[in-house]
Every structure is written in C-alpha cells, then in structure tokens.
A and B are shown apart, each in its own frame.
Chain A
C-alpha cells in the first residue's frame, strides 16, 4: 500500500498516518484502495494533500458548499479562506479509530421516497484502507448517528479555526 505523506502534527492527519490498512481490511462499500487510486480517478478522487472533503448541497435554501481538510492541518473554506487547525483543535476532530469506523459507514444513504428539502452530505476521505466516499441525504433515517456526529465535529473544527485566526 502506498504510504500517505504526512508532515504536521495534527491528529486529523495522524489518524490517517497511524492506520496502514491491509488488503484484508478493505471494507465493503465505496472505498478505493490508495494504490488503485490512479485507476479510479473518475470514481472517487481527492486533491493532493487533502485528507477530508466535506460538501453540502440542497436544503430549503440550496447552497452548495465545500470544505477541504489538508494533511498539514490547513482548512479551505467555501469562501476560499484558508485557516489552520491548532494542535488542541486537531486533537478533537477525528481519531484513528474513528476514521476506521467511518470507513465502515462508507456507502450511500439515499433520500426516502417523497422526501424533499433534504441536504445531501458528501464526505470523501483518505481512510486507512484508501479513499472512501459517503453520500447521505440527511432526511434518511438510515444515516447512523455516528456519521452525523463525525460530520458535525468536522464542521465545528472548521468554525473554530475561523474564529481563532
């Protein structure tokens, strides 16, 4: 497996660097092992150096927004601003174990029939087993609480980094 290059001391990236993943550990779901990433760019991709990409679209007021979390602790916000996670904040984002459990949640959670005004949450991340993607309609009762929790913690970390700059 191709190693992930990490440079800074934030747990967001430590979570990834500490998980080497083996072919046997590749979970069921839309995860692409890192060594295959070049072959599957059209399926799931992440820009160079990005550990997590959060995207939202839809909702009663349909706003499309994207946050990029880089392996060196930088965060790119929807308005183009770049901030950096501080060490303390980084420690509260996602642990290595939580990245592993996030991989186990990797699949699509479509909107129930008839539903409307839901927000579509797209989460793409480099987990221990490779690049994974989760697409979830937040009106789906199938979306695990854990996924909402991880999602919200990433959002809170992004907000805190904006407030502290």
Chain B
C-alpha cells in the first residue's frame, strides 16, 4: 500500500513533465538534468508496469467487430427527469415508439440513433459496448441545468439557462455517447492527459456523428462542438472549435475559450480534472489537420485511424505521445508503412508539438 502511494506521487510528477519533455531534457539538458529526466522516465516505466499488472484479469474490453450492416440496430430509452436530480426518471419513449412530442426527448432519441449509426455503419460496432447496450438518456435533468454528462451508464441532458437545451446539438449527443465508447474500450482515466484524450475522442466522434449525418466532407464541416446550444446572450460560436481551438467564445461571463492548439501552450491545471477540457484542444487540432490534409470524408480515413487507436491502446493512463504513437502505428497497419496516411498522421502530431 505504501509502495503504491509512493508511485502515485511520482506519477503526478510524470504528469507535469510529459514524456516528450523528458526526451527533450535528456537530449538538451546538462548532466544533472539528464540524470533527473532518466530517473523520472524509469519511474514512469515502473509505474506503467504496475498498471499493466493491475489490468483486469480478463484483459481490457475491445468491442466485437460486426460485418458492416449486420448490427442489430439501436435500442434506445429516453426518460423525463422532470427537472429533478434523480436518474433515470420517467420513461418517455422506447425503441420503435412514435415521437413523444417532447422536443428534447425526441432530439435525444434521434441523436442517439445517429450516433449508433456512425459506429455501426462505419466501424461495425453494435452500440457503446459492442454488444447492443441500451442507450439510456434522461432529458430535463435538474432545473436550468447548463450541462450534459455521461455517468458511466447513461446520458443526462439539462434544459440550459445560458445555453439552449443541450439536446439541440448532435455533436454534444455524439460527444456524450462517445465517452461510453471510451469506457467500454478499456477507458482513459478522467484526469490530466488521459482525461484530455478521453475528451478529445468524444469531441472527434461528436463532430464525426454530425458530419456523417450530413454527408459532409472535412472541408465543408464547421468542426464546432455545441454550436446549436449557444444562447443569444453568449458571445461565441460554440463550446469548442477543433479547427481553431481557443476561439470558440469570448464572453464577459464565461471568459475566453481557454483551449490551446499546440503543446507550447499546454495548461497545467488543478481544476477541471487537470484541464481535461482545455488540453484536449491540442489533439483535437491534430485530428482536424489530419482530416483536412487527407481530404474527403473525415470518418473514412482519419476516423478509422482514431477508432483503431481506442480499440488497441490498452492503456488507461495514456499520455498524448502514447496516443500519437498508437495512431501512427495504426495508420501504418491499416494503410501501409510509409503510406501517405501514416506520414500525414505523424505530420499532424508534429504540427501541434506532440512530436
């Protein structure tokens, strides 16, 4: 127990000094700095060994891949939270039911269907767990609640106060459901860089859900998260922008969008679970750059590279460089070593300073 505590402490140091920084220190630092970097790196490797040893006995979950077009179809349930905090609430609409007439409930139902469709059609995944998990949504959660969340087993959407009802935005719905995909793919710890990668994956697939529904090319998409929920009193376009992180809003009440797009502006923060919604701007921008460089529909190549990565990374504590490595390796496997796709994936990570 004591030993574990010691390693937790060292892990926090690792989180402050990401691996690429250690590499840099090893290359450019003086003798003392190089020694420190190598010690930290060694401790990081030991910690990784412990994580591997602590992995579930049955291994991490990897969703079954179904032949495209053979998934069973979604199974959706939407509940009315009646402005209270209890979940899930009163059942409003089940799979196959006619529209309920409750706008937010029907948006949640349709949005869950659109998200299911992306994962099923493009990646052969049958729901969040790959095994037909029921997609449970609660609308009208709490009163004037300006948020939506995934609680490990369902989505909850507020009606908003500053924001419009959160179900207005398909990218928000796709985002929340994609947290479920992360969870059922081995998970990424919701803290610091792995937490930012968790947010990043959810942003990417939230955007892809919207683009797939619209049949958009990467160059035609707005790459915004939550554009439809921005109320008239907010000075901004969306919650986040993958195209231009840090520019989504600049509002007297909310402040300025704090997302960086490059590692030079990486934020070390104790709030927001270590800045998970801030630093996600860096990998978000890398994905955007790759999708734009590849051209065409973003889910066809870049989306597959990212989906392969979440399925294969097998490291809940992954750092940005781990994720980047996984995508480059995945692009090499899917499209060939030295392929344009692999080279552009690596270039995208270089452009945002992860490599």
Contacts and interface: CB of A to CB of B under 8 A. Distances in A.
Interface of A: 57-64, 79, 111-120, 138-141, 143, 145, 148, 152
Contacts of B87: 141
A116 B85 contact: no
A59 B147 CA distance: 6
A148 to B, nearest CB: 4
B48 to A, nearest CB: 20
Q: Which 3 A-B pairs have the closest CB atoms?
A: A114-B183, A114-B152, A139-B151
Given A58-B272, A61-B254, A145-B85, A114 B278 contact: no
Given A61-B146, A139-B152, 5 more contacts: A115-B150, A116-B182, A119-B149, A138-B147, A148-B85
Contacts of B165: none
A148 B142 contact: yes
Contact of B148 (A58, A62, A117, A140): A117
Interface string B33-73: 00000000000000000000000000000000000000000
Given A60-B226, A61-B254, A152 B143 contact: yes
Interface residues of B, number: 40
A143 B202 contact: no
Contacts of A152: 142-143
Which of B166, B239, B277 has the most chain A CB within a 10 Å cutoff?
B277
B255 interface: yes
Contacts of A138: 85, 147, 149
Nearest to A113: B152
A79 B254 CA distance: 10
Contact of B179 (A61, A79, A114): A114
Contact of A119 (B147, B153, B239): B147
A62 B85 CA distance: 20
A79 B142 CA distance: 24
Interface of B: 84-87, 142-143, 146-153, 156, 163, 166, 172, 175-176, 179-180, 182-183, 187, 190, 198-199, 202, 226, 239, 253-255, 271-273, 276-278
B101 to A, nearest CB: 26
B185 to A, nearest CB: 11
Contacts of A140: 151
Contacts of B198: 116
Contacts of B175: 60, 117
Nearest to A139: B151
A42 B68 CA distance: 56
B12 to A, nearest CB: 18
A92 to B, nearest CB: 15
Which of A62, A116, A140 has the most chain B CB within a 10 Å cutoff?
A116
A140 B85 CA distance: 10
A131 B44 CA distance: 39
Contacts of B202: 116
B272 A62 contact: yes
Nearest to A78: B253
A21 B278 CA distance: 43
A64 B253 CA distance: 11
Contacts of A116: 149-150, 176, 179, 182, 190, 198-199, 202
Contacts of A118: 149, 151
A141 B85 CA distance: 9
8 contacts: A62-B272, A62-B276, A64-B272, A112-B151, A115-B150, A117-B148, A117-B150, A139-B150
Contacts of B190: 111, 115-116
A145 B278 CA distance: 30
B85 A143 contact: yes
Given A60-B239, A61-B239, A114-B187, A141 B151 contact: yes
B272 A57 contact: yes
B266 to A, nearest CB: 16
Given A57-B271, A61-B239, A62-B278, A115 B152 contact: yes
B85 A115 contact: no
Contacts of A117: 147-150, 175-176, 179
Nearest to A144: B85
Contacts of A79: 253
Contact of A115 (B84, B146, B151, B172): B151
